Protein backbone atom coordinates (compact mmCIF):
# COMPACT_ATOMS: atom_id res chain seq x y z
CA UNK A 1 0.00 0.00 0.00
CA UNK A 2 1.25 3.45 -0.90
CA UNK A 3 0.12 6.84 0.32
CA UNK A 4 -1.94 9.21 -1.79
CA UNK A 5 1.04 11.55 -2.08
CA UNK A 6 3.30 8.71 -3.26
CA UNK A 7 0.77 7.62 -5.87
CA UNK A 8 0.44 11.20 -7.11
CA UNK A 9 4.20 11.49 -7.51
CA UNK A 10 4.41 8.23 -9.44
CA UNK A 11 1.59 9.32 -11.73
CA UNK A 12 3.30 12.68 -12.30
CA UNK A 13 6.67 11.06 -13.09
CA UNK A 14 4.95 8.68 -15.52
CA UNK A 15 3.32 11.59 -17.37
CA UNK A 16 6.59 13.55 -17.51
CA UNK A 17 8.52 10.52 -18.75
CA UNK A 18 6.11 10.21 -21.63
CA UNK A 19 6.47 13.89 -22.44
CA UNK A 20 10.19 14.49 -21.92
CA UNK A 21 11.91 11.10 -21.95
CA UNK A 22 13.04 8.55 -19.41
CA UNK A 23 14.93 10.70 -16.89
CA UNK A 24 12.86 13.47 -15.32
CA UNK A 25 14.45 16.36 -13.44
CA UNK A 26 13.47 17.42 -9.94
CA UNK A 27 12.58 20.90 -11.21
CA UNK A 28 10.19 19.48 -13.83
CA UNK A 29 8.33 17.58 -11.12
CA UNK A 30 8.28 20.60 -8.82
CA UNK A 31 6.84 22.80 -11.57
CA UNK A 32 4.23 20.20 -12.47
CA UNK A 33 2.87 19.75 -8.95
CA UNK A 34 3.65 23.33 -7.84
CA UNK A 35 5.89 22.60 -4.86
CA UNK A 36 9.50 23.21 -3.78
CA UNK A 37 12.32 21.23 -5.37
CA UNK A 38 13.56 20.29 -1.89
CA UNK A 39 10.19 18.68 -1.11
CA UNK A 40 10.38 16.73 -4.36
CA UNK A 41 13.86 15.50 -3.50
CA UNK A 42 12.67 14.24 -0.12
CA UNK A 43 9.82 12.29 -1.73
CA UNK A 44 12.05 10.85 -4.46
CA UNK A 45 14.39 9.49 -1.80
CA UNK A 46 11.44 7.78 -0.10
CA UNK A 47 10.23 6.31 -3.39
CA UNK A 48 13.75 5.11 -4.16
CA UNK A 49 13.93 3.30 -0.81
CA UNK A 50 10.71 1.50 -1.77
CA UNK A 51 12.28 0.62 -5.15
CA UNK A 52 9.60 2.50 -7.08
CA UNK A 53 12.06 4.88 -8.76
CA UNK A 54 15.74 5.15 -9.56
CA UNK A 55 16.91 8.52 -8.31
CA UNK A 56 20.28 10.03 -9.23
CA UNK A 57 21.21 13.29 -7.55
CA UNK A 58 21.65 16.15 -10.06
CA UNK A 59 20.65 13.80 -12.90
CA UNK A 60 16.98 12.99 -12.45
CA UNK A 61 14.62 10.13 -11.74
CA UNK A 62 12.87 7.39 -13.63
CA UNK A 63 10.32 4.76 -12.69
CA UNK A 64 11.21 1.16 -11.97
CA UNK A 65 8.85 -1.50 -13.28
CA UNK A 66 6.93 -1.67 -9.96
CA UNK A 67 6.72 2.13 -9.97
CA UNK A 68 5.42 2.20 -13.52
CA UNK A 69 2.79 -0.45 -12.77
CA UNK A 70 1.66 1.43 -9.68
CA UNK A 71 1.31 4.65 -11.70
CA UNK A 72 -0.68 2.83 -14.39
CA UNK A 73 -3.04 1.32 -11.82
CA UNK A 74 -3.77 4.80 -10.45
CA UNK A 75 -4.34 6.08 -13.98
CA UNK A 76 -6.61 3.09 -14.69
CA UNK A 77 -8.76 3.89 -11.65
CA UNK A 78 -8.90 7.59 -12.54
CA UNK A 79 -10.09 6.95 -16.08
CA UNK A 80 -12.61 4.30 -15.11
CA UNK A 81 -14.13 6.64 -12.54
CA UNK A 82 -14.35 9.37 -15.19
CA UNK A 83 -16.26 6.93 -17.41
CA UNK A 84 -18.61 6.10 -14.54
CA UNK A 85 -19.26 9.75 -13.72
CA UNK A 86 -20.05 10.66 -17.34
CA UNK A 87 -21.91 7.51 -18.41
CA UNK A 88 -23.88 6.71 -15.26
CA UNK A 89 -24.17 9.97 -13.32
CA UNK A 90 -24.47 12.32 -16.30
CA UNK A 91 -21.54 14.55 -15.42
CA UNK A 92 -20.08 16.58 -18.28
CA UNK A 93 -16.57 15.78 -19.49
CA UNK A 94 -15.28 19.05 -18.04
CA UNK A 95 -16.61 18.24 -14.55
CA UNK A 96 -15.06 14.86 -13.77
CA UNK A 97 -11.29 15.31 -13.44
CA UNK A 98 -11.16 16.70 -9.90
CA UNK A 99 -13.66 14.13 -8.61
CA UNK A 100 -11.74 11.28 -10.24
CA UNK A 101 -8.55 12.63 -8.62
CA UNK A 102 -10.14 11.79 -5.27
CA UNK A 103 -11.61 8.44 -6.29
CA UNK A 104 -8.42 7.16 -7.94
CA UNK A 105 -6.87 6.42 -4.55
CA UNK A 106 -9.45 3.79 -3.55
CA UNK A 107 -7.43 0.72 -2.61
CA UNK A 108 -9.89 -2.09 -3.39
CA UNK A 109 -8.82 -3.83 -6.61
CA UNK A 110 -12.00 -5.92 -6.43
CA UNK A 111 -14.10 -2.74 -6.57
CA UNK A 112 -12.18 -1.51 -9.62
CA UNK A 113 -12.55 -4.87 -11.37
CA UNK A 114 -16.29 -4.81 -10.77
CA UNK A 115 -16.47 -1.18 -11.89
CA UNK A 116 -14.67 -2.12 -15.12
CA UNK A 117 -17.13 -4.96 -15.75
CA UNK A 118 -20.12 -2.76 -14.86
CA UNK A 119 -18.99 -0.26 -17.49
CA UNK A 120 -18.51 -3.13 -19.99
CA UNK A 121 -14.74 -2.82 -20.13
CA UNK A 122 -14.30 0.60 -21.78
CA UNK A 123 -11.09 1.15 -23.72
CA UNK A 124 -11.13 4.96 -23.62
CA UNK A 125 -12.11 7.55 -21.02
CA UNK A 126 -14.41 10.53 -21.80
CA UNK A 127 -11.40 12.57 -22.98
CA UNK A 128 -10.24 9.91 -25.42
CA UNK A 129 -7.37 8.64 -23.26
CA UNK A 130 -6.76 4.86 -23.31
CA UNK A 131 -7.54 2.97 -20.09
CA UNK A 132 -4.82 0.57 -18.86
CA UNK A 133 -5.97 -3.00 -18.18
CA UNK A 134 -5.40 -4.85 -14.88
CA UNK A 135 -1.87 -5.81 -15.96
CA UNK A 136 -0.98 -2.21 -16.84
CA UNK A 137 -1.15 -2.79 -20.57
CA UNK A 138 -2.29 0.25 -22.51
CA UNK A 139 -3.31 0.49 -26.13
CA UNK A 140 -1.32 2.69 -28.47
CA UNK A 141 -3.22 4.75 -31.00
CA UNK A 142 -1.96 6.38 -34.14
CA UNK A 143 -3.04 9.99 -33.79
CA UNK A 144 -1.73 13.41 -34.71
CA UNK A 145 -2.52 16.90 -33.55
CA UNK A 146 -4.17 19.37 -35.90
CA UNK A 147 -0.90 21.32 -36.18
CA UNK A 148 0.57 18.29 -37.98
CA UNK A 149 -2.17 18.34 -40.60
CA UNK A 150 -1.95 20.11 -43.93
CA UNK A 151 -4.60 22.23 -45.60
CA UNK A 152 -7.28 19.94 -47.02
CA UNK A 153 -6.57 17.09 -44.58
CA UNK A 154 -9.44 15.70 -42.51
CA UNK A 155 -9.98 13.18 -39.75
CA UNK A 156 -11.87 12.35 -36.57
CA UNK A 157 -11.34 14.16 -33.27
CA UNK A 158 -10.56 11.36 -30.80
CA UNK A 159 -8.75 12.98 -27.89
CA UNK A 160 -7.28 16.02 -26.18
CA UNK A 161 -3.82 16.57 -24.75
CA UNK A 162 -5.16 19.14 -22.31
CA UNK A 163 -8.02 17.76 -20.21
CA UNK A 164 -8.26 20.78 -17.90
CA UNK A 165 -11.70 22.13 -17.06
CA UNK A 166 -10.85 25.45 -18.73
CA UNK A 167 -9.88 23.86 -22.05
CA UNK A 168 -12.85 21.49 -22.13
CA UNK A 169 -15.25 24.33 -21.42
CA UNK A 170 -13.63 26.24 -24.29
CA UNK A 171 -14.30 23.28 -26.61
CA UNK A 172 -17.91 23.17 -25.40
CA UNK A 173 -18.32 26.83 -26.36
CA UNK A 174 -16.84 26.10 -29.77
CA UNK A 175 -19.18 23.11 -30.14
CA UNK A 176 -16.26 20.70 -30.61
CA UNK A 177 -16.36 17.19 -29.17
CA UNK A 178 -14.95 13.71 -29.57
CA UNK A 179 -16.19 11.94 -32.68
CA UNK A 180 -16.48 15.14 -34.72
CA UNK A 181 -15.16 15.03 -38.27
CA UNK A 182 -12.68 17.89 -38.65
CA UNK A 183 -11.16 19.32 -41.83
CA UNK A 184 -8.40 21.93 -42.10
CA UNK A 185 -9.60 24.61 -44.51
CA UNK A 186 -6.78 27.13 -44.18
CA UNK A 187 -3.81 28.14 -42.01
CA UNK A 188 -3.34 31.85 -41.35
CA UNK A 189 0.30 32.84 -42.11
CA UNK A 190 0.25 35.82 -39.75
CA UNK A 191 -0.47 33.99 -36.49
CA UNK A 192 -0.65 30.31 -37.51
CA UNK A 193 -4.31 30.10 -36.55
CA UNK A 194 -6.30 27.28 -38.13
CA UNK A 195 -9.54 27.57 -40.07
CA UNK A 196 -11.35 24.28 -39.60
CA UNK A 197 -14.79 22.90 -40.34
CA UNK A 198 -16.98 20.16 -38.91
CA UNK A 199 -20.22 18.79 -40.30
CA UNK A 200 -22.11 21.62 -38.62
CA UNK A 201 -19.93 24.74 -38.67
CA UNK A 202 -16.66 26.48 -39.44
CA UNK A 203 -14.43 28.14 -36.88
CA UNK A 204 -10.95 29.56 -36.29
CA UNK A 205 -8.72 28.18 -33.52
CA UNK A 206 -5.27 29.21 -32.32
CA UNK A 207 -2.22 27.05 -32.91
CA UNK A 208 -2.17 26.27 -29.16
CA UNK A 209 -5.70 24.86 -29.35
CA UNK A 210 -4.82 22.97 -32.54
CA UNK A 211 -1.80 21.41 -30.79
CA UNK A 212 -4.08 20.01 -28.09
CA UNK A 213 -6.62 18.35 -30.42
CA UNK A 214 -5.81 14.75 -31.42
CA UNK A 215 -7.04 13.43 -34.75
CA UNK A 216 -7.27 9.85 -36.03
CA UNK A 217 -7.82 8.36 -39.51
CA UNK A 218 -6.37 11.42 -41.22
CA UNK A 219 -7.01 11.66 -44.94
CA UNK A 220 -4.88 14.01 -46.99
pLDDT, one tens digit per residue, over 19-76 is: 888 789 999 999 999 999 999 999 999 999 999 999 988 888 999 999 999 999 999 9
Architecture of the CATH domain 143-219: Roll (2.30)
pLDDT score of 187: 97
- Please list the residue range(s) of the chain that carry CATH number 2.30.30.90: 143-219
pLDDT score of 20: 87
- What is the distance between the alpha carbons of residues 74 and 56, in angstroms, rounded to a whole number? 25
pLDDT score of 68: 97
- What is the distance between the alpha carbons of residues 212 and 170, in angstroms, rounded to a whole number? 12
pLDDT score of 57: 86
Q: Which residues of 99-129 are buried (b: 16+ CB within 10 A; e: fewer)?
A: bbbebbeeeeeeebeebbeeeeebebbbbbb
pLDDT score of 76: 98
pLDDT score of 1: 83
Q: Which residues of the chain have pLDDT under 70?
A: none
Q: Which fold has domain 4-63?
A: Arc Repressor Mutant, subunit A (1.10.10)
**Between β-strands 144-145 and 213-219, what pairing exists: parallel, antiparallel or unpaired?**
antiparallel
pTM exceeds cut of 0.75: yes
**Between β-strands 154-160 and 144-145, what pairing exists: parallel, antiparallel or unpaired?**
unpaired
- Please list the residue range(s) of the chain that carry CATH number 1.10.10.10: 4-63
pLDDT score of 73: 97
Amino acid sequence: MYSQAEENYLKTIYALEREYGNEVSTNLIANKIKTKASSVTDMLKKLALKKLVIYKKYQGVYLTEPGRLTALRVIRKHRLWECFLVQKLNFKWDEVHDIAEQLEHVKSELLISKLDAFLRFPKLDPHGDPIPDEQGRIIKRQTMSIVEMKIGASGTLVGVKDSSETFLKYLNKKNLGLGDKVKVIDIEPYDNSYHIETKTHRLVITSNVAENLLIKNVKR
